[in-house]
Structures are given as C-alpha cells and as structure tokens.
Amino acid sequence: MSALAFVQFGLAVAALFWTLYLLLVPLAARFRPPARRQASPGTGTSVAVIIPAHNMEKFIARCIAALRACRLPRGESRIYVIADHCTDDTAARARASGVTVLERTAEPAGKTYAIAWGLEQLELKQLRADLYVITDATAWVEPGFLEALSAGGSDRDQIVTGRSIAAIEDQPWFVHCLGLTLVHRNFQNECRERLGLSSLIEGRAMAYKDPYIRRFGWTLALPTSREPGAHPTEDWRHGVRVVEHGYRVAFAGDARVRTPLRESLAAATQQGTRWERGRMANAFTHGMRLLVIGLRGGNRLQIFAALDAIQPPVAILGAFTILVAAGTAIWPIGGGLDLLGYLPMALVALYGALVAIHGRKEGIRLATLAWAPVYIGWRSFAFVLSWFRK
C-alpha cells in the first residue's frame, strides 16, 4: 500500500467510525425496551423557574405566560427573571407579568454567568426549591413542560433535559435545516435514555434537583482556568463535566419547548461560528479528559459522554465523508478496500433520511433534505471560519 493509499485508508476508517457511531446507538436502542418506571413529583414539590434574559422585552411576557399555563398537580412553581445587563424594558415587563426580577449589572455578562449569579442570589435570599428549571426568554413552553421535567428520569437522576423544537412556520430554508439538527439531538437523546446513557443537555429545557445545586451550584458550567473568558456551548461543557463527577443526564421527551432560531442567514452564520468554536474547545479539553478517565475506569457512561463531546457535527461529518469518497474516486485505495471510501457517505445519507422522517412529527418537511448539500457547505464554512475568527 502506497503512502497516499494509507492516508486514504486512515481517513476512510475515521469517517466510518463516526458514521457507525451515529447509527449503532439508535440501532442498539431499538432492542432495548423503554424504561418501565419514571420518577414522579412528590407531594408539595416546589419548582423554581429561572429565565436569564438580556434585552428580551419583545419575548419575556410571552415566555412567562406560557410558563404560567403549566400545571404541577402536586406542587407549586415560582418564576425568576434574571435581567442581565439589560438596556431595555425587559425588567419592567417581567415585573408587570407578576414574577420576581433579579437585575444584574456586574461583569462578566452572559447566560452562564447570569445563571450562576441568579442561583447565588436565591441562596442568599433562602429561596430554595426542590427542582430548578432553566429556559430561555425567547422560548415558549408547552403546557406539560414543568410536569414532564419534574417526572423525568429515575429517582437517582439529578439532572433532566427536555425536548427543544424549532419554530419553523414561514421561515427560510436554513431554519428548517437547523430544525433538523434539533431533531437529531432529540432522537439521539431518546436512544441514550433507553440505553441508560447520559443525554446531551438542552439549554432551553433543563432541570436540576436541589441536592445537585447545593453541591455544585453552577460551577461545572462555568469556564475553567484553562478557558479564559466565556465561550458558547456551555451546555456541552456542563454535560461532560457532570458525567465526570458521577451524574447522568436524563431525557424527558414530553418536556417540550418551542424556540425561534436566527431569522437571517448572516446571524445564523455568526452564531454557527461561535458554536463550532465552543464545541472544539469542549472537545479538546473536557471531552478528551473524560475519555481518558472513562477508558481507565472502564466506565461506559463516561466513555459515551466523552464520544458525544468529541464527535464532529453531522454536517461536518457529511462534508468529511464526501471528501473521502471523492478522494477515493480520484486516488483509489486499492486492495479491495475502495468500499471503505464510499460507505461512510452512504451511511450519513441514510442517517439524514432517518432524522428527516422523525422531523415530520415536528412539522419539518421531507423536502428539506433537498437543501442538504447547501446546508453542509454552509455549516462547513462556519466550521472553517471558527478556526480563524476570535
């Protein structure tokens, strides 16, 4: 085997590994029956809903109204809005909706720091709850949201994440494609829940029980000394670090929250660049660390959570498989191994079709798949841009 063929073979094996990882977890989940028992909210369960908000006067009243429509049959909920460095009427409109507002002006700004500060303020005021639910001001929850999060997972699970759905009505093509990324995440979380693995944390729909908050607060979501400043995708970082400390993130599929995505392609590209940079930072730090810890200890939960943090996004993996297939066509591997160069691309296409079928339940048309080549090129551009833009 020539040096070029050896490189081609290595790239094909890497592409095949990650495409099989996408498909084998869902395949394994099909042979595992659903969990028979979920936890249920106990008598008098108290829920504190925390909404970090920066200049969200346009959305905050609608968000609060949707949360007020939720019912807890055996408990009560209180809503706290953290007006973080707001220069508009977010705080006033939140107060007019009858909720407690905590105004924050200290540096640094940002969702992660706002949540950490808000939890500290609640502790100082001795405003404790059995469950702390966090959602975004732009999102609006469905009526069973709080009850589903309260009942999600087993009695041992301290962290529960819900189902985020893109609001795609009358939106352009890229919003539908981004909506499929949420479908992909929900699909993977469903499979991980069935297999007893840890789910990916969804920042618009997450809940933490009081014992966890008392132990860690929001420290595991904050950047470490190796990460100066804040980068986005703190949800990925948090999901990896909680598993490192012995926790599992449960998935409550009935805790549904709808969220608008970026309205312009330029804004979506800028956000995608930040996301990719944050994902890479998480992969090369916490993800690799957890993988080493998991392999040393033979801990299945940690190994899979680490792989989830390290794996490339589906769009980037799609672009990688296309390049591998094109390279194989131009410079065949030889020795009957050329199939390895084409198989990953076929598997990614199969997985994309599977996700699109699931997306029909959330209003995403199968025709969205026609935009797949454009979407892959667009997301790959954001990925490359993330290496150079700070």
Residue pLDDT, tens place only, 254-285 = 999 998 877 788 888 887 888 788 888 888 88
For the chain, the structural domain boundaries read 3-30+312-388, 45-264
The alpha helices in the chain, defined as continuous H runs, are: 3-30, 60-68, 90-96, 111-124, 145-151, 173-195, 210-216, 234-244, 265-282, 288-297, 300-310, 314-330, 339-359, 372-388
For residue 129, is pLDDT > 50? yes
Which one has a higher pLDDT value, 18 or 32?
A: 18
186 is written with which tokens? 């929900």
pLDDT tens per residue across span 223-255? 876 555 555 578 888 999 999 999 999 999 999
**Residue 170: pLDDT band with limits 50, 70, 90:** low
Provide the CATH number for the domain formed by 45-264 in this structure. Answer: 3.90.550.10
pLDDT-derived band at 33 (thresholds 50, 70, 90) equals: confident
pLDDT surpassing 90 at residue 146:
yes
Residue bearing the bigger pLDDT, 65 or 177 = 65
Confidence of residue 149 (pLDDT cuts 50, 70, 90): very high
Distance CA 49, CA 30 (A): 34
For residue 98, how far is the Cα from the chain centroid?
A: 30
d(CA 116, CA 220): 10
Q: Are 78 and 133 in contact (CB under 8 A)?
A: no
Return mean pLDDT, the chain.
89
Bigger pLDDT: 264 vs 118? 118
Whether 44 shows a pLDDT value over 80: the answer reads no
Whether the Cβ atoms of residue 202 and residue 161 lie closer than 8 Å to each other: yes
| Average pLDDT, integer, range 58-64 | 95
Q: Which has the closest alpha carbon to 246: 302, 191, 285?
A: 302
The percentage of the chain sitting over the pLDDT mark of 90, rounded to a whole number, equals 64
Asked if residues 199 and 290 have their Cβ atoms less than 8 Å apart, the reply is: no
Mean pLDDT on 154-177: 88
